Chains A and B, each alone.
Chain A
């Protein structure tokens, strides 16, 4: 575990030693604010809740998570530091987990910085803070699933732009898989149960369940197992590249 934390610490420091972290935090907070107030009609809808705020999280993650996740492995491969990292006495999974945790903690920082909006809604009315807390946790879990997905794709390439694009594309598919835009591609040929499985993998559907109210264990298990699966695939990809 100590090894994982060592990697996590290094990666977190790396985010803040370049402009990436600051650009990300500013854009995330500014964009989520703008969306909530303008597109989400935060004031005019006359309800004391954060529904319009949380509704935009998946769409921001769609582009911003690939932006912080693309470097995780692609940069190491490009600069050759992966050789330094993988010849240290730590297991591949510890590195994978350490990197994931760093990016995940980073999104936690970003989420934490949105607290003024929570204060605002409490000043203006009396929202159900249980729902707000559940939604924040749900949002963070969803961010984790996106990060694990993007990190695992980042291990496929040494080009960060490629990592970003395939990361964003894959994120889009998993986000939308409950909707016709993705399901339509399966309906024509796949059996019904496969379509149902694809539909159940939708990040959006699962996240919307959480923001509606109490956290259901099912959604938590869904996101945690998505994280687990992608981290496993990530480890396999990194190990597989050793044989190539």
Chain B
């Protein structure tokens, strides 16, 4: 049994620019893969090639065994796609748009009614169902875009920034929806919101400059060796002027942030350089300087830091 989505050596060049550089991966049913990466990393271009909107310069993508270049129609039948920015026909109402998509997708009259009703309920667009799409808010447009992607109950969902432009409640709903649908499908989303990876993805790939830097579960990502550790602690405010420069000068310390000042105590966050034990450094330094360090604790490695250190290429 082959994977639902199989990408091999996918490459896209625009003139001298290599937007996607020899990317390979596969996605099984039940997996939610998150593409993470800065803007311009090649996430959208990769998605455009999988969905058949752009042809690869080299390499191949296959959905359920069908090659996207050789059998584009078979591939497109099995994909639900939300393009970047959720482009939709502004002059149509969600009703007209969903009917159009249902017709093109070849749903029967009976199916069409049921599927559209289901989609409306899933993404909560009932109240704007009869309004022209161009008059809708960004959040509603995004949800109509989602509705058209899930309408035909596809095996593979490709969603380019599905929660962009949504408010926190709507984001939460969309993530819940993705989790609900996950068991029966393969889902690929792109995002630059790291919490989203934690919230919905079973697997994450960090992409930068067209290359895959890391591919693993959110946990392995967080534990990636390039990740720095950090500790936070409090010291008396009066000691800061003396202690801070020494701390910054220490070899194991990458940076120091002052989090807050309260009641004569300052909270500091110290981030280590890669593979350095920052807690030991702080303790040793504090002992040498005769500074009392209170409430010292190790901070969980944040995906943000992993992401930054990987994509900036420290």
Which A residues are closer than 8 A to B by beta carbons?
Answer: 2-3, 6-7, 9-10, 13-14, 17-18, 79-81, 83-84, 86-91, 242-244
Per-residue CB contact flags for chain B residues 55-88 toward chain A (1 = under 8 Å, else 0) read 1000000000000000001101101010111011
Closest chain A CB from B117 CB (angstroms): 21
* A91 and B73 contacting across the interface, CB-CB below 8 Å: yes
* A79 and B104 contacting across the interface, CB-CB below 8 Å: no
* A79 and B90 contacting across the interface, CB-CB below 8 Å: yes
Closest to A10 in B: B100
The verdict on A80 contacting B105 (CB below 8 Å), with A89-B73, A89-B77 known, is no
* B105 and A84 contacting across the interface, CB-CB below 8 Å: no
The verdict on A83 contacting B48 (CB below 8 Å), with A6-B100, A242-B53 known, is yes
* A14 and B91 contacting across the interface, CB-CB below 8 Å: yes
Closest chain B CB from A23 CB (angstroms): 15
- Which listed residue, B52, B79, B89, touches A86 by the CB 8 Å rule? B52
Main SS of the interface on chain A? helix
Q: Specify which chain B residues have a CB less than 8 angstroms from the CB of A89 in the assembled complex.
A: 73-74, 76-77, 104-106
Q: Specify which chain A residues have a CB less than 8 angstroms from the CB of B54 in the assembled complex.
A: 242-243
In the complex, the number of residue pairs spanning A and B with C-beta atoms less than 8 Å apart equals 70
Within 8 A of A (CB), among B89-117: 89-92, 96, 100-101, 103-106
Interface membership of B230, Cβ < 8 A = no
* B83 and A80 contacting across the interface, CB-CB below 8 Å: yes
Bound complex: CA of A243 vs CA of B11, how far in Å? 12
* A87 and B73 contacting across the interface, CB-CB below 8 Å: no
Q: Specify which chain A residues have a CB less than 8 angstroms from the CB of B103 in the assembled complex.
A: 2, 6
Interface centre among B51, B84, B85, B104, by most A CB within 10 Å? B104
Within 8 A of A (CB), among B234-281: none
Closest chain B CB from A21 CB (angstroms): 11
* B73 and A242 contacting across the interface, CB-CB below 8 Å: no
Closest to B101 in A: A88
* B14 and A90 contacting across the interface, CB-CB below 8 Å: no
Q: Specify which chain A residues have a CB less than 8 angstroms from the CB of B53 in the assembled complex.
A: 83, 86-87, 242
Closest to A90 in B: B104
Bound complex: CA of A89 vs CA of B81, how far in Å? 11
Closest chain A CB from B78 CB (angstroms): 9
Closest to A13 in B: B96
Bound complex: CA of A231 vs CA of B156, how far in Å? 32
Bound complex: CA of A147 vs CA of B267, how far in Å? 70
Q: Specify which chain B residues have a CB less than 8 angstroms from the CB of A91 in the assembled complex.
A: 73
Closest to A95 in B: B104
Given contacts A83-B87, A84-B81, A87-B52, 14 further A-B contacts (CB under 8 A): A3-B104, A6-B103, A6-B104, A7-B104, A9-B100, A17-B132, A79-B90, A83-B48, A84-B83, A84-B89, A87-B76, A87-B81, A89-B104, A89-B106
* A79 and B55 contacting across the interface, CB-CB below 8 Å: no
* A90 and B83 contacting across the interface, CB-CB below 8 Å: no
- Which listed residue, B48, B81, B87, touches A79 by the CB 8 Å rule? B87
12 A-B residue pairings within 8 Å (CB atoms): A2-B106, A10-B92, A14-B92, A17-B91, A17-B92, A79-B87, A83-B48, A87-B53, A87-B83, A88-B104, A242-B53, A243-B55
Bound complex: CA of A91 vs CA of B76, how far in Å? 10
Bound complex: CA of A88 vs CA of B107, how far in Å? 13
* A18 and B85 contacting across the interface, CB-CB below 8 Å: no
Closest chain A CB from B183 CB (angstroms): 25
Closest chain B CB from A159 CB (angstroms): 17
* A87 and B51 contacting across the interface, CB-CB below 8 Å: yes
